[in-house]
Each structure stands twice: as C-alpha cells, then as structure tokens.
Structure 1
C-alpha cells in the first residue's frame, strides 16, 4: 500500500512549484526556465519516467514552439511548465497498479464475502478453497484492440497476478456462431483497461460486443469495469449509458482538477500573475497550435476536450493534450499508437 500511497501523493501534488520572487522579469525567466529544464532532466532519468525516452526527444519537441502563436520564449516556457508536471507511467508502475486492482478490488471483496457468509470464519483453508472456486468463475476482458493496448494490458495483468492465460478472453469470444454463450458457467466478467477518458470507447465497446446481453442470458451474472484511471465524467457516462448494469470502479478517479485548463486545475493552482506563464495563455497557445495541425475544436485539447496530461509506456491516450503526442508535421515527445 505504501507504493500506491506514494503514487497518489505524486498525483495530488501535481509537482507544482511557486516560482515568483521580487526579481526582474528576465532574471526570473532564466531562473525558472533553468529550473524547469533541470526538473524535466531529473524526471526523465528517474524511476517515474523510466522508458519514456523524453530526454532523446526533448530538443526536437522544443523546436516545435517557434513563435507561430506567441513569442517563442513565451510558448516554450508554457510548454516546459506543463511538461514538468506530466504524468508518465512505465511498465513496472502499471503492473503495480494492476496488482492493486486484482488484490484490492477483486480478491479482497471475495474474501470479505466468504467470511461474512460463514459467520466471519478465520479458517484459512476454507477461505482459500472458496476463493479459488470464485476466482475460477471469473473471466477478464481487455478493452481495446487485442493487437494494440488491449494485448499489452492483458500481458501486464497476467504478469501482475496469478491468473491463468485461459481466464483472459476476447470480447469476440463471448458467443459462439449460434449466438450462445461460450462460458455459461462464468459468474463474473471483468473489463480491464488503462484509462477511461471520455467514456465513449468503453460504451462503444460494450455495445459492439453485446456485453449487456450477458445479463439477459443470466440476470445473476456480474459485469464490472475496473480501469486503472477514469475521469469523473467517464464514470457517470458509462453508468448512465449501461443503465447502471455495469459496476464501475477505477483504481484512481481523475476529477476536474486533472483537466489542464479547468478553473480548478491543479497545474496552475499556484500560478499568480506572471509575464510568461498563465492558464489562459497556455490554453491559447496549445489550442492554436493544435488547430494549425488540423485538430477540430472539440479535440484540440484532447479527445472530447478531456484535457489530460498522462501517458503509459505502451501508449499515450488521445485524451492527452495533442501537442505531447501528435507526430504528423510535429515532433512528438510521447508516442501514441492508434487504438482503433
């Protein structure tokens, strides 16, 4: 739990510093910019950003901000300010997250139920036998294309847990050619994912693969969606779109403060009036460049205006600000592979 608490602390702090002192603007700029570069260098060499390859791509990414929107110094300062707070999660961290999902959100509730239904028994042999039985009646379904993020999440999930390869299935394998369930004995289907940003992909996935029909086949079947991260907006959308037939419980919920340019943004919470850095200034720069790269209004700050700043070692979600991952006529600093 200490590892998870440290990560939560990292998320909540947002690694934001208050730079502002009574100095000339030029001196302040040089000090702040040097601090940002040093911070990014430290992060890129640390455990947190291990595998991000930021140091190899940084110079090319910086060259994107060449004064097309504002003075290049202002553009670059705002870009580096955001990058210094970017959340990157490598394979080891993701495995720890998935292990927490398995232990805390799946195994522990089953053990609690077994004990509760058996006079709070402390018979470890009895508990383990019943736990094994319950776990054998669960199938895990990765969200996304199996040749993309879905495959990587499945792989990391199996590495992080003791489940068998047979327990992870594709949604396309739920029904046979006659339309009947392939696994009639299964009591619980769990959808696993890295991130629910807008909730659209999950809802489309559920519809495409007729996930809710499982409830029609057997009203006692449980369906859960347990992503590593989900925005508050996505949680509500998924619940509403699935008529509350799917239990949604992310390991981490990203509230409005994780939207980079929301009025409650944690990233600008300590920023006072400043010549180079500002929430509205940064928003204008990032939005204008994204539109120059042919992003439509709705997606110029991340798909469906989600405005996130996070990436995984296996992919960068399109909910993240595009200027971090776009690679067409732009030098990306984090790689994105299309999940569609």
Structure 2
C-alpha cells in the first residue's frame, strides 16, 4: 500500500499519485478520465461547501483508497491457508503428539487431516466468499475433491429420513470469506446450516469441527461470528480505526495537505452518501471503509466510491457487484 499525504500536497500532486496507484495497484481503475467522471458527481450540494472544495476533498479521500488487486488477493489467500489453517492444524497435531517436531510424523498427520477437511464459500454460489474458492484452491494447490457443493455434504437416511454426513471420513469444514463487517452475513447464511451439520454429525456418530476464516474483519463483526457456534474463527487482518475514513485515527487525515479537513470531507461523504444509500451514507453498518478488492467492493465501504444503481445519477470509481441487499 502506498501512503499519501503531506502539508505541501495540492490537487495536481494528489492526481499524480492517484495515477501511480492506478498504474501500479488499482489494475487500471482510476485513470485521469475515470477520476474526472467521478469528480463530476460532486456538484456543490453540501451546505456551505463550494463544488471545487467538495471535489478537492473527494480526490484527497480517493488518494487514500486501499485496493487489493488480483496479485495481492492471491497472496492474501496463501497467507490465509498457511497462517490460519495449516499452522493451526499442525499445532494441534504437535500437541496431540506430545510436542513432537518430527517433520515426517507431522507431515503425514497433516496430509491425513487435510484429506478429512472440506472448504466452503460463504453464501450462495454467486457471492464473493464462494468466488474466492477458485483462487484459494489454485494458489494452495489443493485437490478439487476438497471443495464440494454444500448439498453434497449431507445425505438422507433411508431408515428415518433424517440427514446424515455423506462422507464418514470428514472431520472438519472450513468456511472461507473475504470481508466480515457487521457479521450479519455470516449469521444469516450459516447458523441454520451449521445446526443441520451438527445434527447430521450427531446422527452419523461423527465429530466435525466447523471453522470460519476470512481475509479482513471488523473486530466487532468477528466477535459476533465467534458467537455463532464455530469451533475456530480467525482473520488474516483485523481492521482498525486508522482504516475507517473519518475516525480520529484515520490514516487519510494523519498529515493532510493545507486546506483539507476531515470534518469537511465527512460532511461531503454524508451528503452524497445519503442520496446513494439512504440510511447507510457511511456504508452498510456505518462501516466507513475505503477498501476494494479485485473481485468486489465491500458494501461497508463509503457508497460514494462504488454505488452505481441508485435513485440519483452517479458514476462510481470502483464497481461493486451486488449479492443480496444489506448483506
């Protein structure tokens, strides 16, 4: 991530830095024409703030947008597998082996544990958690058999019509997600399914662990996820106040150039965000993020960056592909 800002930075230098971001990190998003079209959205509607001041604050905010392209996304997925899954499983195996560090023993035990694991996306097949699985499998060189469709996990007993676990060898299910904001999506999509899995495992006389691993998480949302009955839940990176656009710790206003005010920028974002996403002017759940990923933009990100279909005309800077409302 390239850090921007400085007391001597004016609009021209900010634009120059945005071009650098566009060319090197944003995968071509944010070219001069894109920025100009986006800035044309700001037409002086904020009370007491002229159009040119709105646009100056908008372009400063844009220069602090954090974007993870495909290359960075693939590295994050490797880190998720290595740090949150492989290391965690190996540590469990070492504990069971009395603290043994014998590599041949641990590798054999890990290979067996992996063969008994199944990886799942969060939500339906059209959503981003599921979309990540392709890259996740590629980067970590995992067998396709470890990525079943959810309906393949359960089978119906001919004896009583109840659900059973289809594969008697499965011992661990791992849900993969990209961003946990409020934790609502994890709750809505997974609680009922987890309960079905637990019931089916009990009827099958199997012990199954259910994990939830994500790339990014708001600590509050992650706390909610941990209350949903998962045996293990973790994030590659837990977001902090410096990554929230208008918090007092925001990195965008740690050393702003002359004439840039956090309060003015927030007023502008709330004015236009209120039109674009009524009730969620700072993003869903008041997220206030400035975050985008190669495959999508979280709806916890400021709407002024990504909203396209709204009650008012708006040209987004980054595209978000909707899944379900308020997810």
Task: Spell out the pairing of 1:235-314 with structure 2 (5 A cutoff).
Answer: 235-240=222-227, 242=228, 244-271=229-256, 275=259, 277-293=260-276, 295-297=277-279, 299-314=280-295
In structure 1, distance between residues paired with 2:87 and 2:231 = 19
> For residues 172 and 289 of structure 1, what CA distance do their matches in structure 2 show?
42
How far the C-alpha of 1:103 sits from its partner, in A, is 1.3
Give the CA RMSD over aligned residues. Answer: 2.1
Say if 1:52 and 1:313, in contact at 8 Å, map to a contact too: no
Flag structure 2 segments of 5+ consecutive residues without an equivalent.
Answer: none
Residue by residue over 1:280-322, the C-alpha shift from the partner in whole angstroms, topping out at 9 and shown as x without a partner, is 21111111112223x222x111011111111111111111100
Residue in 2 aligned with 1:53? 29
Measure the CA separation in 2 of the matches of 1:246 and 1:116: 17
Tell me the TM-score normalized by structure 2.
0.87
Which segments of structure 1 move beyond 6 Å, counting only runs of 4 or more? Answer: none
CA distance in 1, matches of 2:45, 2:175: 44
Match of 2:51 among 57, 72, 84: 72
The match for 1:127 is: 106
Correspondent of 2:22 among 19, 38, 44: 44
Of 75, 85, 89, 1:106 maps to 85
Q: Which runs of 5+ in 1 are unaligned?
A: 1-9, 21-30
Pairing 1:214–2:192 present: no
Alignment match, 1:17: 5
Cα deviation 1:67-86 (Å, max 9, x = unaligned): 22231111111111111111
Q: In the comparison of the two structures, how many residue pairs are matched?
A: 309
Deviations 1:69-107 (A, max 9, x none): 231111111111111111111111111111111112111
| Equivalence for 1:170 | 149
Aligned to 2:39: 62
Q: 1:184 to 1:257 in 2, by over 3 A?
A: farther
The one of 63, 66, 85 equivalent to 1:87 is 66
Confirm whether residue 197 of structure 1 aligns to residue 181 of structure 2.
Answer: yes
- The 3 A distance-change label for structure 1 pair 317 and 64 is same
Query: Closer, same or farther in 2 for the Cα pair 1:333/1:138, shift >3 Å?
Result: same
Mapped partners of 1:220, 1:263: distance in 2: 46
* Residue aligning to 2:128: 149
